[in-house]
Amino acid sequence: MALFLLSVMLTLCAASPQDLSGKMFTFPEPSDSAHVRLTTSRQVLSAVTVCLRFFTDLRRDYSLFSLANLASDNELLIFNSDSGNTYNYYIKNKVEVFIEQHYKLNTWHSICTTWDSESGLGQLWLDGKPSSRKYISSGSNISGPIIIVLGQEQDSHGGGFDEKQCFVGMMSDVNMWDYNLSPCEIQNYMHHLNFAPGNVLNWRALEFQTTGRLLIEDKQEIKTCN
């Protein structure tokens, strides 16, 4: 009976996408457990774009976006290292390093990453500025069962978290597409203009579960108050 209720609850949670427009996830303290698990029905991806916004004062390594499957815990991983100036972008456990990605602490930033399995090229756009396009991995798709985690870095399928790599701060506007956004679409995302919402993950209809101390709050933006 308990198992039955649990499975009903899990089904209900998974079946109710939420519109998080104007909201953010707040990760208020380091831990090896607090995280958001994002659910998608899409399990085979021959190309991807991930875009999100973040705000932090971390000077250590941390994960921004961790997608694992059974074959690799770093199937798609956006990992900030070297005191914030370098991004390690993993696809299928292969990594390319993107240097000189300076950004101010205590400020909202947008980041988008693209990859496609045909060319194998990955690219990163920090606050709308492109990186070099670099070869990471080609010839096979990202495939399921996919587990996507915000706030922690997976070293196993859905687990293996390390407090030293957790995210502390705020995150918002997480979207993922099964194709590469054009440079113009990335600029539109960055400037909060019209863009096609993610067809793999859509911030306006997000299916997720949270674990541990984290909050969904109104996004804080400094605007003129009337």
Ligand X SMILES: *[C@@H]1O[C@H](CO)[C@@H](O)[C@H](O)[C@H]1NC(C)=O
* Residues near Ca ion, by CB under 5 A: 73-74, 155
Cβ pair 72, 93 in contact under 8 A: yes
Looking from the CA of 103 toward its CB, the CA atoms found within 13 Å total 27
* 82 contact choice in ligand X, Ca ion, none (CB below 5 to 8 Å, kind-dependent): none
Residue 103, classified by CB atoms within 10 Å of its CB into exposed (0-12), middle (13-18) or buried (19+), is middle
- Of 141-170, binders to ligand X (CB under 6 A) are 141
* 210 contact choice in Ca ion, ligand X, none (CB below 5 to 8 Å, kind-dependent): none
The number of residues making up the chain comes to 226
* 155 contact choice in Ca ion, ligand X, none (CB below 5 to 8 Å, kind-dependent): Ca ion
13 belongs to the binding site for ligand X (CB under 6 A): no
Cβ pair 162, 73 in contact under 8 A: no
- Of 114-143, binders to ligand X (CB under 6 A) are 140-141
Reduced DSSP (H G I as helix, E B as strand, rest coil) percent helix, strand, coil of the chain, to 5: 10, 40, 50
Residue 73 or residue 185: which is nearer to Ca ion going by CB?
A: 73
CB of 116 to Ca ion, least distance (A): 22
**Which among 126, 30, 24, 117 has a CA at the least distance from the CA of 84?**
126
* 141 contact choice in ligand X, Ca ion, none (CB below 5 to 8 Å, kind-dependent): ligand X
CB of 140 to ligand X, least distance (A): 5
Report how far residue 203's alpha carbon sits from residue 173's, in angstroms, rounded to the nearest whole number: 6
- Of 37-56, binders to ligand X (CB under 6 A) are 44, 46
The footprint of ligand X (CB under 6 A) covers 44, 46, 140-141
